[in-house]
Amino acid sequence: MRRVNEELPPACHARHRAPLALGYRVMTGIPTYLASLLAGRFRVERELGAGGMATVYLATDVRHDRKVALKVMRPGLASELGAERFLREIRISANLQHPHIVPLFDSGSVDGHLYFIMPYVEGESLRERLRRVGELPTDDALHILQEIADGLAYAHARGVIHRDLKPENILIAGRHVAIADFGVAKAVSEASSTDSHLTTQGVAIGTPAYMAPEQAMGESDVDHMADIYALGILAYEMLSGTVPFTGATAQQLAAAHLTRSPESLAQRRPTTAGAINNLVMRCLEKRPADRWQSAEDFLTELSGLLSRSARVAGGVPEPGVHDDVFPLTESVCRQLNRATLDPRIIGGEMHYLDNRRESPILVCFLHGVGGDQRQFEAVASVLPYRVLALTAYGFEPEARQQISLSLEDHLVLTRAFLTDAIARLGPSTVLVAGFSAGADVGLRLLASDPPLTGIDGYLSLSCNLSLDTCFASLALAKLADEKSELLSELQALGTSAATFDAWLLLHEYLVTTLRKFAGNSEVLRRYAIDIVRPFLEPGASPFVEWYRTVSTRLRSLRCVFEDGEATVAAIAALRLRHLDEGVLGDRHRHGSIVIVPSTNHFDLLEPGRIVSEIEALLASLDGA
């Protein structure tokens, strides 16, 4: 069975350095009919190569006096395709104006012969590069991959799918990379769906070694996810020197794509960084829903890796704690509430702290209301595990966004961040820890549907138990924008605290938070209102509901509280209710709700305390 754009016989890949056009080596011989048919428009000089679908010639564009590559479809295939269908699909390329896509100069039909014209590229195809050097240096492979992904993202955004991405269709001229033959596979695919004679002629849609499982099954509605899979195969081949699956026949290769799990790239090339391995292997998931959902998302992740690598010589993480960003791509923003979506958030970013420590254990922190990632900078420096601390959108340490989000949208963004971190870093154990209102956010996220997979344990540091414990959030929920009204409310709040602990806590929060936000309270107010809202409903027990759900979903849950009057009273009442009614559920374990003696709210942020609690949570996983 011959393939779309089948690669040339070995004799056509002699090891000499002649110029290339679309990846073909120089050959000779020009049919006399071709020279006469195109006379006056193109002067055909010599044959460059022949594949399963077409023959390529070097020609001169007489009108513009430039070298071009003239690609003429095989006569039998041309008659089956038909000029109208072929020209409709091949003209897709004419609308793809991008530096990493080979442009279409012209196309047409002359006496039943279908052709199209592309630039004559002096360089080599990726296939030639791989044959010449084998596996590529990591930096070179990632550079090529970035330019391919950039071209794909552009095409996919315009609804154009390649369908036959492979090394023969990747052209390299110096440091420049471009994708060739957009539209060709689509034309053949449409023809094949209505004319089985094409298949009997031996034309398959795609190249078996690079076919996605759904493509290998012959599904008619193949979409951009097939290109994502092929992109992963290209990356795997560049970095390891071989494709993940081999077979003696096209049928064996198709079966491998459908049924076999690829060997990890890191196993084929042990020096591969974990983040690169995860980036590539996610492309090769059998189910399209488990792959990168767009070339744009893949490109964003790859660009982040290259950016971090550029900052760290040799790819070895620098010691210390670093600020990084999580891009809010279109695919992430599509998950937000469309009715209230502010378009300014699209293409934005969320900041997070990363200690870049090599560890199989990942700990992700969520800050309190008005806070940010800096609350965990000290513990990230001393904790012997990989630490990420996310800053909620609009709560950035500097240059804060003025877009307020609902708490439900904050949960969507936090879910996206955690999902991405787990997929990118590939840890064996994942813990999430939240402080104050951030602890509420973590509980609500982990109790929401669909369940967030990949989390092993959760550490809640002073979550809210009742309306009486919502000191700062309740205060911020009442803030006004007008300074005169704000001052009046703050004065009233100062006299409303029922206890000295409440008064001290409230003022510490407010002074720190209002200085940070410089009186712009809307982002804070909306967030605080949503934190408080569940506790305002008569008879509601939000903490009990979250606790019961999360304790059934995770291997371990640990809730730690300060020794404050309101908190101690609330926990005492909760323990009595559980004793009488079992409200905490069957998964409640002794030691999962803890009061730390002689502590206040902010003492729970002390690095030594957090390290101790993280170690206790890890120990409980061993016994789970």
Catalytic-residue membership of 106: no
Q: How far is CA 87 from CA 40, 58, 203, 426, in A?
A: 21, 21, 19, 46
The active-site residue, picked from 61, 150, 164, 372, is: 164
Beta-carbon contacts of 102 under 8 Å, excluding residues fewer than 6 positions away, are 22, 93, 118, 119, 121, 171, 178, 179, 180, 181
Burial class (CB in 10 A: 0-12, 13-18, 19+), 190: middle
Q: For residues 163 and 186, is the Cβ–Cβ distance under 8 A?
A: yes
Contact 367, 389 (CB under 8 A): yes
Q: What angle do CA 301, 338, 367 make, to 5 degrees?
A: 55
Helix (H, G, I), strand (E, B) or coil at 30: coil
Token output for 581: 């009614």
3-class DSSP state for residue 72? Answer: strand
Closest CA to 473 of 522, 434, 530: 530
Compute the C-alpha angle 185/186/189, nearest 5°.
Answer: 85
What is the Cα–Cα distance from 622 to 79, expressed in whole angstroms? 68
What tokens does 439 get? 């602890």
Contact 324, 351 (CB under 8 A): yes
- Which residue in 358, 365, 364, 366 sits closest to 384, CA to CA? 358
Q: Tokens 């020609």 label which residue?
A: 59
CA-based diameter of the chain, in Å?
Answer: 99
Catalytic residues: 164
